[in-house]
Structure 1
Amino acid sequence: MKKRTWPQLIKMVHDIEKRRESVIYASDDELKKLHRITRESGRDFALTPTELYYLKQILYEGMSMRSASEIIHHDRRWILTRLEAVKQLDFHIEEEDEK
């Protein structure tokens, strides 16, 4: 699997959000893929374990960007935009795990 960069991940999130705004929703496969690449740092894109931990806190557990900003040094202002697609990932993954 090829390495992914932060700009590619951000583009995926933005693409999903644009389609949601125009009522063209992300497919379950896209949501699962986005979930996977935010979880498997070494496999898909370069992200330190610490950064991955704080990204998960922001995406899934509601840590404020301000709390994480001193630790995460990349430009991640996109997290502050609407991320309903990302916030709903756990629901989709739970469905997958039950199979």
Structure 2
Amino acid sequence: MTESTSAADADRSVDAHARAELARLRGSIDNIDAAIVHMLAERFKCTQEVGRLKAEYRLPPADPGREKEQIERLRRLAESARLDPAFAEKFLNFIIAEVIRHHERIAGA
């Protein structure tokens, strides 16, 4: 066996290991993404109920005090989970904007 053949075999072995590890990690990522989608769907089911209650009692679609509390809470959770709190806040702001849009639509219905 030549030195170049031995190196080529080692490269194939590393490549096979890397491909297997990538596949394993990507499978985990896919499972996490699916869980996130299902959890968001459940969250939005609850916020739809909130929107209906707000509409029934003529409450405003947005609740800045609650939103501020949620952002602060999520930032603390992110810090304890070693997730960038700024990212967590952006993510929650995106969700809040969508919830408010739903509440406005429900109130106008």
TM-score normalised to the size of structure 1? 0.31
TM-score normalised to the size of structure 2? 0.29
- Higher share in helix: 2
Bigger RCO (CA 8 Å, 6+ sep): 1
